Structure 1
């Protein structure tokens, strides 16, 4: 679905499509499906993991809470898509790298090891669109890094595309040259699993996607 005009006014024939994220990567991925949200409505929630919270439970909770926060603020018919992505080493959830030291710590932990990237999705209709269906998925992808020297890690950090990324790297960035294997969904690692997103939208009433 695309916006009907520059103001993002929803189409008269179906609810507005709302993305509960300001991530430019998720917008780019939606564009691969031919979708442009009518509204981009980032969810402001506390993203602190609970004590001993498992990564799969945490990422699902984040997607559910993001969708719920945005839906509560929308009075018109709408379908909200929320997503969250985490990088996990076993039960350990790695942080989003907001500074170089954090990114360095993450890359040293990931060097030469296999880790898991989990991305959770939830589609949730607003209360004024009762025909819509709440649906969700959690997509798990295994990623293996080659062993990196300290110099190689510092060179990656100099590139800067780790900023704000879970686990301190971007699959679509310079770190790709050190990823030895990936089993699962590459688009999920970037932030939005395209197959599962398309399936959720195809399951909604109306022709969201062919």
Structure 2
């Protein structure tokens, strides 16, 4: 196995799969960061703070002085956070609120080496088709929405509800590829075209 070029401070299988698409050898670092929002904190401020905190926590654990990637994703509808549903009723409430409307997915990425940290937020607008109660109930029964912020996964069965996406598909899944590569090059001082 090749020596790592960077570390990923995330236990998310989706982020590992996406980062692998950049063809950079990496190792995963398990970090523990409190993901609670601070009073009055906007979704944008929250997601960037969490990505930076994860990268910095990873840098404190890294066995080598390499860039550590931290990332976080949150949803937003009408200025309110879209979090993981607590139960079926909560998921149905969120899905009804998003039905026939657009919401925002904010994904923040950050690189840190313990000395400095660079971060960037990618915002995408996702529009759902109008959803029926039977569609919402059947989706919950699939098991997919239970551990997803906003109660859906665009890369899975939830993708059938998306009528329009403006922004980065990969950011909605959990890691914006082009922006991650660009921020890493910026962090390393490499010129990009």
TM-score under structure 1 normalisation?
0.84
Deviation at 1:175, TM superposition (A): 1.3
Deviation at 1:45, TM superposition (A): 1.4
SS in 2 for 1:93: strand
Task: Determine the C-alpha separation between the residues in 2 that align with 1:42 and 1:167.
Answer: 24
Deviation at 1:125, TM superposition (A): 1.3
SS in 1 for 2:111: strand
SS in 2 for 1:203: helix
**Structure with greater helix share of residues:** 2
1:56 pairs with 32, 44, 50, which one? 44
TM-score under structure 2 normalisation?
0.90
Deviates more, 1:21-30 or 1:181-190: 21-30
Task: Spell out the pairing of 1:82-97 with structure 2 (5 A cutoff).
Answer: 82-97=70-85
Deviations 1:145-180 (A, max 9, x none): 011111000111111121321100000111111111
- Structure 2 residues not aligned, in runs of 5+: none
Any runs of at least 4 consecutive aligned residues in structure 1 with deviations exceeding 6 A, and if so which? none
Deviations 1:31-61 (A, max 9, x none): 2211341x21132111111122111011111
Given that 2:124 and 2:172 are in contact with CA atoms closer than 8 Å, whether structure 1 keeps it comes out as yes
Q: Which residue of 2 aligns with 1:123?
A: 111
- Structure 1 residues not aligned, in runs of 5+: 5-9, 128-132
